[in-house]
Chain A
Amino acid sequence: MSIVNFTPWSALAGGALIGLAATGMWWLLGRLAGVSNILGAAMISHGEDFAWRAAFIAGLFLAGLAAFVLFPGHVNFNLEAGYGQVIVAGALVGFGTQIGGGCTSGHGVCGVSRLSARSIAATLLFMGAGMVTVYFWVHNL
């Protein structure tokens, strides 16, 4: 193992912003900023419940669009996987986060902040599973 591409300051600054966004959702709306739950439940919700969920997702997308349009040279994006691989990956992420009740934001950020045993366990498990997957996919296939 060797450490490469480590960007500690932008990681901490970006992380703090994510924490701030989670704080806004919690303090103002009483909601945890778990993206997979906000998106997953949006599909079966109506009225005002649907509106805030859709608005949060729209904000995420528009942040990406604004960065892409305003700072095109500064948005790094490198994806090696082809269509087949991303489709399998997407299906697993979609299904897994719904059964497991959360993703990197809901379990990883919000749940760990709350010291929820469920979320800490889930975070260790999905990180472990991700590491094992990358190990076999990158190094042995």
Chain B
Amino acid sequence: MKRAVVAFVCGLVFGAGLIISQMSNPAKVIGFLDITGDWDPSLALVMGGAVAVFGVFYRLALRQGTPLFAPRFALPEKNSLETPLILGALIFGVGWGLGGFCPGPAIVSAAFGDARVWAFVAAMIAGMLVYRLGLRRSQD
């Protein structure tokens, strides 16, 4: 329960950050990706601001040894560059450019009432399920 409350508050703050930085507006994201046209560099500063904060606290937290409400820090297991990483990033990037949404902003702006965002989120969840229930299971 305590962990769910913490995650909920973090989700709220994360969402507020996406809204204040206007990353919940797909036109703003497309503006960043449109480097040969009318370019809007804002997204780079959003990432810069987030990395500046988390880059410091990530390390400070690790020095503590364990997280406050969990037995250990859960780090990704893989360390190597492999085909799925490269392929997945490219596929994601094409979808990102087509719609102007990545997963976080899509969930936030689903609350703005435009049914096209619900269609995006439904398709995104379907794409995730194909992997989680299909491909990944066959690898195990």
Contacts and interface: CB of A to CB of B under 8 A. Distances in A.
Q: Which of B46, B57, B71 has the most CB of A within 10 A?
A: B46
A99 to B, nearest CB: 3
B90 to A, nearest CB: 5
Contacts of A118: 76, 78-81, 85
A123 to B, nearest CB: 8
Given A18-B46, A52-B6, A68-B112, A99 B40 contact: no
B132 A63 contact: no
A94 B24 contact: no
Interface in B7-24: 7-24
B33 A133 contact: yes
Given A64-B19, A76-B25, A135-B34, 20 more contacts: A21-B13, A26-B58, A26-B73, A29-B3, A31-B74, A52-B7, A55-B4, A60-B104, A61-B108, A63-B12, A77-B24, A79-B116, A94-B123, A100-B88, A100-B89, A103-B104, A118-B76, A129-B96, A131-B97, A135-B36
B88 A93 contact: no
A59 B18 CA distance: 12
A11 B46 contact: yes
28 contacts: A1-B37, A1-B39, A4-B39, A7-B22, A14-B19, A21-B17, A22-B10, A22-B50, A26-B58, A28-B10, A36-B103, A62-B12, A63-B15, A63-B19, A76-B25, A80-B26, A83-B116, A86-B117, A88-B123, A90-B121, A95-B130, A96-B90, A98-B127, A101-B88, A110-B54, A112-B51, A113-B50, A118-B79
Interface residues of A, number: 114
Interface residues of B, number: 120
Contact of A57 (B51, B76, B107): B107
Q: Which of B41, B45, B97, B113 has the most CB of A within 10 A?
A: B97
B47 A91 contact: no
